[in-house]
Amino acid sequence: MKLVVAVDKNWGIGNKGELLARVRADLRNFQSLTKGNVVILGSKTLATFPNGKVLKDRTNLVLSRNTDYNPEGAIMVRSLDELFCELKKYDDDSVYVIGGANVYDQLLPYCDTAYVTKFDKGFECDAFFENLDESNAWELVSIGEEQKTNPETDTEPDMSFYFCEYKRIDK
């Protein structure tokens, strides 16, 4: 299993249920990684998508204990046991955890690859991701060239960011 996350300088990932920044290049990278694959997300993350709709061209597994919550197009799983039972139907290499914070916390121990977009800026955050740079379980295996946001398409003008890949080393 893999994961995709965008973090700020302090490994923050969100504030008040929203992404820190909308950066077209990051969203395209996310799409290229996950399209045609299985994504695992929580109900709060799904609520942030346009019209609260599942991502098209992906199998959307939504982890939520709320039995009344059944969004159209999603495969609902109510527990980790139920999730892992459902995941037996898919190739492990095609499964991506995409958030939010609670889902990342629960599933990080089961992931072997992390695709991390690092924003070179600190934001006001109330949700965080484990700092993989300080973890003995992970190593940075690649860091892309510096990218810059586009003020015409992105919410943060003149911000640098990097596409990074981490691999688990304790598995």
CATH number, position 42? 3.40.430.10
* Mean pLDDT, residues 46-52: 89
For residue 17, what are the domain limits? 2-168
Averaged pLDDT, 78-100: 97
Q: Tell me the pTM.
A: 0.95
Q: What angle do CA 43, 164, 132 make, to 5 degrees?
A: 70
Rounded distance between C-alpha atoms, residue 156 and residue 65, angstroms:
35
| pLDDT of 95 strictly over 90 | yes
Question: What's the pLDDT score for residue 79?
Answer: 97
Total domain count, the chain: 1
Query: Nearest 5 degrees, angle CA 78-CA 12-CA 155?
Result: 105
Out of 64-68, 84-88, 97-101, least confident range = 64-68
Please say if the pLDDT value at position 32 is more than 80.
yes
